[in-house]
């Protein structure tokens, strides 16, 4: 999709407080091997990352990156963006992100 992704931040980073409470797409990765763990969209990416901080990602260094989205998007457009990101990843890797549908 060519989104302008931010640099990768540690999920336990105090930098979370500097992220705007705004809409965006995000991804969580294993910093050690680059494996995509999760991808999503949210109307408030800061609160979403705070929720993801509490998860056990089964890797020592989970990191996140985000791309801001317009606040004018409708709910179905957020779902379309997330589906496009998942489809693109699946087309390249022939698998889904490790924790995408794990229920954790």
- pLDDT value at 61 more than 80: yes
Segments in 1-104 forming alpha helices (H): 45-53, 75-93
> Using CB atoms within 10 A of its CB, is residue 100 exposed (0-12), middle (13-18) or buried (19+)?
middle
> Would residue 42 count as lying in a domain?
yes
The pair of structure tokens assigned to 64 is: 């996140």
At 14-57, the pLDDT tens digits run 777 778 899 999 999 999 999 999 999 999 999 998 888 889 99
- pLDDT value at 1 more than 60: no
User: How many structural domains does the chain have?
Assistant: 1
pLDDT bracket for residue 102 (50, 70, 90):
confident
The pair of structure tokens assigned to 39 is: 């991808």
Residues spanned by the domain of 59: 9-93
> Would residue 101 count as lying in a domain?
no
Cα separation, 17 vs 81, in Å, equals 25
> Would residue 98 count as lying in a domain?
no
Q: CATH number for the domain including 65?
A: 3.40.1440.10
| 93: number of Cβ within 10 Å | 11
> Would residue 103 count as lying in a domain?
no
Q: Name which of 17, 9, 39, 14 is nearest 26 in CA terms.
A: 39
């Amino acid at each position: 999709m060519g989104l302008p992704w931010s640099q990768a931040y540690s999920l336990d980073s105090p930098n979370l407080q500097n992220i705007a409470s705004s809409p965006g797409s995000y991804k969580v990765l294993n910093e050690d091997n680059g494996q995509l763990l999760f991808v999503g969209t949210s109307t408030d990416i800061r609160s979403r990352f705070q929720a993801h901080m509490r998860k056990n990602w089964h890797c020592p260094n989970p990191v996140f990156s985000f791309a801001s989205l317009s606040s004018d998007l409708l709910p179905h457009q957020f779902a379309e963006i997330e589906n496009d990101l998942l489809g693109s990843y699946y087309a390249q890797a022939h698998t889904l992100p490790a924790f995408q549908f794990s229920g954790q």
